[in-house]
Amino acid sequence: QKEVEQNSGPLSVPEGAIASLNCTYSDRGSQSFFWYRQYSGKSPELIMFIYSNGDKEDGRFTAQLNKASQYVSLLIRDSQPSDSATYLCAVLNTGNQFYFGTGTSLTVIP
């Protein structure tokens, strides 16, 4: 079982819609969760991190964490074409090891 799993997509949404990206993790004791964005041919850049159950909002982005279900998600409101990228979920597990998922490719259609 992989440490972090994501639906690879591709996910397509129209401009202005809400994009929902999902991630599950295997280590129940994991405490820190991250969402990175990676444009084609570029390096990952951090969008958000979340440590506590519930929602965390930052502008158009909302991270949601449910530790009981071992599930973390990222919502992008009012999606823009510039949001088109691969979104990587990452988890810091109880062994203090950092794992990335394979990423979900998002395309926002104008």
Partner 1 sequence: EAGVVQSPRYKIIEKKQPVAFWCNPISGHNTLYWYLQNLGQGPELLIRYENEEAVDDSQLPKDRFSAERLKGVDSTLKIQPAELGDSAVYLCASSLAGDTDTQYFGPGTRLTVL
The 8-class DSSP code of residue 95 comes to T
Kindly state whether residue 99 participates in binding partner 1, applying the rule CB under 8 A.
yes
Kindly state whether residue 45 participates in binding partner 1, applying the rule CB under 8 A.
yes
Q: In whole angstroms, how close is the CB of 27 to partner 1 at the nearest point? A: 14
Measure the CA–CA gap between 41 and 26, rounded to whole angstroms: 29
Measure the CA–CA gap between 80 and 11, rounded to whole angstroms: 14
Measure the CA–CA gap between 97 and 76, rounded to whole angstroms: 27
Kindly state whether residue 61 participates in binding partner 1, applying the rule CB under 8 A.
no
Contacts of 78 (CB under 8 A, 6+ apart): 16, 18, 60
Q: In whole angstroms, how close is the CB of 35 to partner 1 at the nearest point? A: 12
| Options 39, 52, 55, 98; binder of partner 1; rule CB under 8 A | 98
| Options 4, 19, 50, 63; binder of partner 1; rule CB under 8 A | 4
Kindly state whether residue 65 participates in binding partner 1, applying the rule CB under 8 A.
no
Kindly state whether residue 40 participates in binding partner 1, applying the rule CB under 8 A.
no
**φ, ψ dihedrals at 82, nearest 5°:** -70, -10
- Interacting residue ranges for partner 1, rule: CB under 8 A: 4, 8, 32, 42-46, 49, 51, 88, 90, 92, 96-103
